[in-house]
Structure 1
Amino acid sequence: MYVVIAGAGAVGRSIGKELVEVGHHVMLLERSPKNFAPESVEEADWVLGDACEVATLEESGLLGCDVVIAATGDDKVNLVISLLAKTEFSVRRVVARVNDPDNEWLFDDSWGVDVAVSTPRMLAAMVEEAVGVEDLVRLMTFRRGQANLVEITLPPGSALAGRSAGDLPLPSNTALVAVLRGDTVITPRGDETLSHGDELLFLANDEAEDTIRQMVKNPDGK
């Protein structure tokens, strides 16, 4: 897979290293000479230029790439890059970094964004998970489908423990995609029995989240 990363600061370089290590072809695009450091990710291709300019994006090979990641520290720049990638180069998948939570509502398909990754939201979600908050945690939002990846842990005494995954009273537009049990990731087949402490990962829209909370606390609606 050919991935173009716009923004080669600490975040962009880290993403590039991870993708290179698993065998992807990576291009890092950076406009600041001080961040232009090809030796930091030697296996990647590098371009020094402004990703908000169409000519620079052409030079970076966006017409042939599979994914664009707008990873700069400026939300305005990330939106412009996303829009150009989608409208001018028809990139199949555009991922954009959200730096300011107040701007998160802008990062949708009207700006060419398929997946918005909010660093503050992800950090908050990890803190909630780490301190054991017994509530639904939104991990990621997929804007094109208006779906969220959410997690909730079965608390002690949950009536869902002992039930099979196929027996869950899921709301519409909702799917149970994985069960995390200790160090094990379980594909939730219909006969998989749930246990206290299981972390359930769902894809769901906004309207379904309250129903998921209620389902975990009181699955029979009584």
Structure 2
Amino acid sequence: MSLEDRPDVGSGRESHPLASLYRQLLAGVGEDLDRQGLAGTPLRAAKAFEFLTHGYSEDVDRLLNGAIFDSANRDMVVVRDIEFYSLCEHHILPFHGKVHVAYLPAGKVIGLSKIPRIVDVFARRLQIQENLTDQIARCIERLTRAKGVAVVIEARHLCMAMRGVEKQNASMVTTTMLGQFRESESARTQFLRFLPNA
């Protein structure tokens, strides 16, 4: 049941377990829970956190809804600049950036809008970028049975910008190459040429 469907939402009460935890968190840092600016904040924060982690409740096959189509195309398909937002599993702080996906069809293609949806299924969980990259690639490989799948993610991490080393301009690039993209340098090179700033 989503927070919007719960009977306590909108009733002025904050009895949802996540809202109660946010009240404890705010009290723990010394906040006055009765001040006007925090009225409703625990419940709003709980709803936001549920949205940011809704990937746990998503089913990729149901989301796909049959959008795998027969195709004679055997040439590379590239979808680039897919924006994403995720939460670092180490500090629960955001990281965000762009995902670039390519696959080499083997008789099947996937509906264009489904690739960004697959990205969001895995991004809307507590993650590290390395695992996110691999999960997207292996999911597309499973669904399309493509001859090769490549995923590149470029992201900035607030856990490094807001705290720790506090480097605001650093970014991280991760890659996963499966099938022919791993085996063939020419396939990798062709894909990388499609990417911005490559």
TM exceeds 0.5? no
Q: Identify, as 1 or 2, the structure richer in helix.
A: 2
TM-score (norm 2): 0.31
